[in-house]
Amino acid sequence: MEIISLTQPSPKERVSEKSEAQVLSFGEDLGEATFAAIFDMDGTLIDNTPYHFKSWQMLFKKYGKGNLSKHEYYTNISGVPVMETIKKVFGADHNEAQLKELLNEKEDFYRKSYAPFLAPINGLENFLTALKNAGVKMAMATSATIQDIDFILNKIPIRDDFDAIVNSTMVSKPKPNPQIFLKAAEKLNSTPADCVVFEDSLAGIKAANSAGMKVVAITTGHTAAELHPVDLVINDYSELTVQKLTALFQKH
């Protein structure tokens, strides 16, 4: 595992021309990339995980489920579909309609608290442009609800960067099962071995490894030491270039 610790100036405007994108790659002519990139959303494209944590804490406290610790959240809830956790915590004494109401209450609290701060992780938009200009096929594979996906992508103009978006309703088994990443690879017409997954959660990292894909972890919710096994660890996308990803597929 390689841990990147580079200091680069903050990106100003999103680049759109290939010649400009190659500056992000230190000027190397990359040609057409032969790998595909799959991105988680929460905690990976945006640093919203603390707001999800607060909304879960509110729900636990309001309905007498005790105090949710940060360790419990980041270990067992982060990266898992919301309804999976709702059913696990509240399913014994709530019917289906009540579980949906709990989900909506949790998500409403999250959106209202996060909306004023909604922003992409530093360097993301320039990095997506560099990938696109290098011919990298991209997908989003997220446990988030369709409403949450729209909440994010209606504010951050990156929807068109993705060739496919796979959400939790399109698979039967949630992370840490690899199904969602395998579905994304299928939609990109790529083999798992030719894919790199960007993830922040332990469940997502386990899923990506089980899928047989390369893994780049981002430290929005865990320290670098906690994110394993992965191929690369970054703090944000200003530290990453297209050829660093290419190098992952050249290792033997």
Which residues are catalytically annotated? 40, 42
- 3-state DSSP assignment of residue 92: helix
Q: What's the order of all strands across the beta sheet hosting 232-234?
A: 2-3, 232-234, 214-218, 195-199, 36-39, 137-141, 164-166
Instruction: Confirm if 232 and 196 have CB atoms less than 8 A apart.
Output: no
The pair of three-digit structure tokens given for residue 201, joined into one six-digit string = 């959660």
Residue at token pair 């299928």 = 186
The pair of three-digit structure tokens given for residue 156, joined into one six-digit string = 């951050």
Distances (CA, A) of 104 to 80, 110, 145, 146, 149: 16, 10, 11, 12, 14
Q: How far apart are CA 110 and CA 97, in angstroms?
A: 20
Q: Which residues contact 225 (CB under 8 A, 6 or more apart)?
A: none
Instruction: Confirm if 156 and 46 have CB atoms less than 8 A apart.
Output: yes
